[in-house]
Amino acid sequence: MAKVAIIGGRGKMGRMFARAFRKQGHTVLVASRSTKLTPAQAAAKGDLVIITVPIRDTVNVIKKIGKHVRKGAILTDFTSVKVRPCKAMKKYSKASVVGSHPVFGPSVGLKNQHFVLCPVRGSHAWYKQALKKMGLRVSTMTPEAHDRHMAIVQCLSHLSNFSFAHAMKQLKYNPNKEVLTSPIYRVKLGIVRRALDTDADLYTDIETENPYAKQVAKAFKKATDTLEQAIREEDKKGIKRIILQCQKHFGKLKQDMREKINRLAGFL
Amino acid sequence: MAKVAIIGGRGKMGRMFARAFRKQGHTVLVASRSTKLTPAQAAAKGDLVIITVPIRDTVNVIKKIGKHVRKGAILTDFTSVKVRPCKAMKKYSKASVVGSHPVFGPSVGLKNQHFVLCPVRGSHAWYKQALKKMGLRVSTMTPEAHDRHMAIVQCLSHLSNFSFAHAMKQLKYNPNKEVLTSPIYRVKLGIVRRALDTDADLYTDIETENPYAKQVAKAFKKATDTLEQAIREEDKKGIKRIILQCQKHFGKLKQDMREKINRLAGFL
């Protein structure tokens, strides 16, 4: 059994993974600014050192504790961007380095959720095994492939949610009026509400620290500009052309997925 | 018991309402381009005449059959925009006129769904009662208030869905790759898929025939422009300001809604 040091382990994600590692018989050391055990001490003791602090602090924490991590140990971080933290972990430590990204929040549990590993240096075999034993679906990719993909999954989603919410604000439309809404609209509004029910700093960091966020934002702006112009000019052909292009890109919806989504529509 | 004439009654919505009226003991006459009974004949016989044809054909059908509807009868349409059809029904008939909008698709059934009535002229009391007996939640508003509200519920939703999908297309991102997605992203993608799994003409019509769609599109474009610029300039303060404005506008998320949305996240 190994010693797992979790730096910043008092947050929700840190505590959830502390429980999961303990359940497998590992010893878990938790260090943060408010624990007796300092992050540097925990880093020196860990066979696996996990940094789970806000994105904007991650590179700084790596700079401080990287040199304390033993050469034979594994160093990882838990943030939603991987290019910059992986580069820093490689530079400021001599340990085995692998970036981690749990692609879910603490509210949904671990079972069947996606977890990404970005191997940078050395071996991380037992860590990967431990994650699989938790029921996680582990994928492996480069930090660049990860950030490019997440610029869609996260940045594009956030952009679309916040543009939606901000348009409502500008139009002085009250989103909490419950009259006269369609089922799928309520689901959509639920997603926007959930995006707003979170730390503004986290989303700000994801939008600014993912190196591919800019090109995603540019594409979204272009799509919006094209649609707005077509609507302004009542250009039926122009609007339809965009919808047809999207339909072609997405392909035909399969019956089982259609049924699933329809059930979803009755949910809120 | 009354005679209900459904013009265009062979579509999914038409058939669903035909069944519901028959269940209450009414006689239902269905007329379309392919029935023996012509729309004009059905219109002349109905105590309630429902026009349920595509938005772009609605005003034309009203022009043709309006004069055949008896003065004591009720004339209504079932489209998702109300200002233009209501104006036409008033102009081209002498009947009682009320606009209708079932705010849901045929896949979710009638029970507890929202249904809007826009009274224009005369009485429609028994029709409203019949709708309530079907389990529908009936609201009453002016055609203008309806279209202003629906410009948010429908047009803003569509804009956000199609901008999302079209950005993916531009970025050559394959939405059908199932690796590495978060639960709420899968729900979001499900909503986009559902929006694309429909008649492009219907959405095109809603965007062009709702007189308030233009100002909604303008607000969405403005929100997108502001966010894109902040991301491009890595302006953390600018991004956070927008998120905080949205949070303030939406208010705090209640615990029961948070739990509902979290369950939603585990759905797809």
**Contact of A99 with A87, CB cutoff 8 Å:** no
Q: Is B109 left (phi over 0), alpha (psi -120 to 50) or beta?
A: left
Give the pairing type, strands A96-102 and A114-121: antiparallel
Give the mean pLDDT of A147-158.
94
Radius of gyration, CA atoms only, chain A: 22
Pick B165's closest partner by Cβ from A104, A192, A250: A250
Query: What's the pLDDT band for A178 if we cut at 50, 70, 90?
Result: low
The answer to whether A262 contacts B214, with C-beta atoms less than 8 Å apart, is: no
**Contact of B52 with B6, CB cutoff 8 Å:** yes
Spatial separation of the C-alpha atoms in residues B260 and A268, rounded to whole Å: 7
Whether residue B263 is predicted with pLDDT greater than 90 in this model: the reply is no
The answer to whether B205 contacts A267, with C-beta atoms less than 8 Å apart, is: no
Question: Given CA atoms B253, B259, B260, B263 in this order, what sign does their dihedral have?
Answer: positive
pLDDT digits (tens, 9 = 90+) for B83-111: 999 999 999 999 999 999 998 888 778 99
The shortest C-alpha distance from A134 to chain B (Å) reads: 17
Whether residue B9 is predicted with pLDDT greater than 90 in this model: the reply is no
Interface test with A, best of B243, B245, B252, B259 (most A CBs within 10 A): B243
- Answer whether B1 touches A (CB < 8 Å): no
Spatial separation of the C-alpha atoms in residues B86 and A229, rounded to whole Å: 27
Domain A3-141 CATH class label = alpha beta
- Answer whether B140 touches A (CB < 8 Å): no
Q: Which of residues 75-94 of B touch A (CB under 8 A)?
A: none
The shortest C-alpha distance from A135 to chain B (Å) reads: 15
Fold of B145-265: 6-phosphogluconate dehydrogenase C-terminal fold (1.10.3660)
Give the mean pLDDT of A119-147.
97
- Answer whether A251 touches B (CB < 8 Å): yes
Sorted by where each begins, the domain ranges of chain A are: 3-141, 145-265
What b/e readout covers B245-268, taking b as 16+ CB neighbours within 10 angstroms?
bbbebbeebeeebbebbbebbbbb
Spatial separation of the C-alpha atoms in residues B177 and A137, rounded to whole Å: 15
* Nearest residue on chain B to A198, alpha-carbon basis: B247
pLDDT digits (tens, 9 = 90+) for A89-102: 999 999 999 999 99
Identify residue A91 by its one-letter amino acid code. Answer: K
The answer to whether A181 contacts B103, with C-beta atoms less than 8 Å apart, is: yes
The answer to whether A107 contacts B224, with C-beta atoms less than 8 Å apart, is: no
pLDDT digits (tens, 9 = 90+) for B25-56: 999 999 988 899 999 999 999 999 999 999 99
Query: What's the pLDDT band for B267 if we cut at 50, 70, 90?
Result: low
DSSP, res A254: P
Q: Smallest Cα–Cα separation from B168: which of A222, A75, A144, A183?
A: A222
